[in-house]
Structure 1
Amino acid sequence: MKVRILIVEDELIIAEDMRDMLEELGYDVVGVTGDVQEAKRLIEATSPDIALLDITLGVDQLGLDLAHDVATHFKLPFIFCTSHADRTTVSRATQLHPHGYLVKPFEQNDLFSAIELALSNFSANRTVKSNRNDDLSENLIIKDALFVKEGHLYVKIKIADIKWLSPDGNYTTIHTSTKKSVVRMPLKELHQQLPQDQFFRTHRSYVINLRHVEAINNQNIYINGEPIPLGKNFRDELLSQIRKMH
């Protein structure tokens, strides 16, 4: 699943140019608007992963005000995109702790770098602290999704879509109904970052999403028809966890 981006920019030509650059990079643009109230409605309706905000949005509309709502109410990472780079503007913008700052005109590579860095910085502030900071920079958990580094992009996997996890040395394979993704993080550490009431370790080599369990016997749990080993020491706790969910 692609990273979803909202563009808040009141100059139509610039906004469409940004849309083209983002889509060429493989991102999903969920909306374009130059109006603060419409931007809030779009955030509610489309649940973007990050917002690109112009600082000045026509008469009596400030991207700075919108940024405050984005950060405090919607809890999204945001990047300021502006042609105003004077000291006063930068000082006001900095107080809102943006996750990036782009001065127009900018190139496609500048946009890409700002977005990837913003996602990484936002996740670093919300993720459980770990000694493996190099791994956290590649695998981000934001809101209800895990972003996995694939090539030059972060690819979004909804946590609800994860069926189970299995180890591969210092890596972990994420299984969904449609694909497998490998992340550079041990199973134990990835499990610690996922909702503990939803993900359960059934065996030293497997963590399952309890919401996808189809059947259980003494030896296995079945998800998508696949048998997943169930250690005898985990069975009673597993049944207890499942009961709590209903």
Structure 2
Amino acid sequence: MIRCLAVDDEAYAVKIIADYISKVPFLTLVGTTTSAIEALSLVQQGGVDLVFLDIQMPDLTGIQFLKLCGSKCKVILTTAYPEYALEGYEHDVIDYLLKPIPFDRFLKAAQKAYNQLQPAVAATPPLLNQVPAIAAPAPEADYMFIKGDSKNKFLKVSYDDVLYIEGLKNYVSVFTPGQRMVTYQTLRDLEEQLPKPPFFRVHKSYIVSIDQIRMIDGHTIYIQDQAIPIGETYRDEFYKLIREE
């Protein structure tokens, strides 16, 4: 098993990485932290093989972390800023993931880490019991950030406010009461970030919040005045879900 530490100053971003790690059989999460300084201390004490590290961190940037960390562990960088990729690779990072990170891209990076680390990990006895009390897993965020209409603009959206989400090629529209927000992102990528429940994909073009459903009539969902079709591919799982609610 590859022992992983998730580091990001945003709690919601840590949660996403922690959730992704839990889905990969050869990765194990030994801790999370929102402090790069704390992460560096934990890595230097041993027991961490791989760090998923945000670049834009207060107090200590990801690049500074790499310079101080040396060969103590391997690093996969996570960031919304592609311009740091070259500098990251100069410090021998395994991979460079651009936010929002789709799970299939995360899995590809994890496989790279496995290919590089597994021989060393297999030869080393598990040290999980030697890892000091790493920061407790970040509390689950009740919001998300979506890209705005300019490079460094992000909109904070509470999950409770989301009615439904509609996808069109590489764009999605997030509908809240009285507002529609459009962001450059695929529906599939956004689906990976959303908590399930209350969110559920009911059609190739729609994700709905179960909490916001007003009525279901046949194969149509009604949220406020919007009629949303239930795609044939998603029907069995959707009806099973609502019967269990």
> What range is the shorter-chain TM-score in?
0.3 to 0.5
| More relative contact order, 1 or 2 (CA 8 Å, 6+ apart) | 2
Q: TM-score, normalised by structure 1?
A: 0.46
